[in-house]
Amino acid sequence: MVSPVYIKPLLALLVIVAIVGIAVVVFRNGPHGSAPVQSANQQLPHNIDVTLKKAHLTEIQDGLVVWELVAERVDYDKTGDTAYLSDTRMVFPATRSHGVVTVTADKGEYSSLAKTVRLNGHVLVVTDDGASFKTNSIVYTGATAQFSTIDPVLFRQQRLQLTAVGMNMGVNSQHARFFSAVDAVISAR
């Protein structure tokens, strides 16, 4: 039988071990069973190699800036040669014949190999002369310096408002061609 002299210290030791055990569990798992903090590598999708915040990309040809793209976040996948963009603003500088073209969108994808930028989600194209295009998605093809979409488009410029399905627009010429279901309204001054 255990002597009564050893019972109090043994109980105190048992209480201390229980408190330490509970403290270790709480610190390891966080309060209220929240998930443990993941490392940066565990937080990224497996196909993403680099993630940048407030990234600035520039396309240059023959020493001249073709376009500049600013995104709040860019996830780059080396294997697919694709950059996934969030909160994007793309600016085409003025030329001798035309002004600046600015494009904004919620999301996008940039392929440096194909020289294409696919933008989607609240896409807005605005030119210096006051023309604007609203659509759900648009693709910029670098080889032809052209925007294209198969989605519905709302075009506005001064008194003209035009809706259509599908469009091509040359960045350098700033000429637009609408494909189908074209409806135009010219408002009185």
What are the pLDDT digits (tens) for 59-89?
Answer: 988 888 999 999 999 888 877 788 899 999 9
Coil, strand or helix at 37: coil
The H-or-E segment that residue 85 falls in is strand 82-92
Say if 84 falls within a structural domain.
yes
For residues 14 and 60, state if they share a domain: no
Question: Same domain for 26 and 66?
Answer: no
Its domain, for residue 10, covers 4-33
Each residue's pLDDT tens digit, 3-22: 777 777 777 777 788 888 88
Question: Long-range contact list for 140-146, CB < 8 A, 24+ apart?
Answer: 140/67, 140/90, 140/103, 140/116, 140/171, 141/115, 141/116, 142/59, 142/66, 142/114, 142/115, 142/116, 142/117, 143/115, 144/170, 145/66, 145/170, 145/171, 145/172, 146/170, 146/171
Q: Are residues 89 and 173 in the same domain?
A: yes
Q: Any idea how long the chain is?
A: 189
Task: Report the pLDDT averaged over residues 34-56.
Answer: 63
**Are 85 and 107 a contacting pair, CB within 8 Å?**
yes
Same domain membership, residue 103 and residue 25? no
pLDDT at 44 exceeding the cut of 50: no
Q: Structural domain tally of the chain? A: 2
Q: Give the pLDDT score at 28.
A: 75
Indicate whether 93 and 134 sit together in one domain: yes
C-alpha 140/C-alpha 126 separation (Å) is 14
Q: What was the pLDDT predicted at 35?
A: 57
* Same domain for 137 and 77: yes
**Residue 27 or 185, more confident:** 185
- Mean pLDDT, residues 35-46: 51
Q: Where are the beta strands (DSSP E) in 97-175?
A: 101-111, 116-127, 132-141, 146-157, 160-170
For position 41, what pLDDT does the model report? Answer: 47
Would strands 116-127 and 132-141 be described as parallel, antiparallel, or unpaired?
antiparallel
Asked if residue 78 belongs to a domain, the reply is yes
Quick one: 27 and 108 in the same domain? no
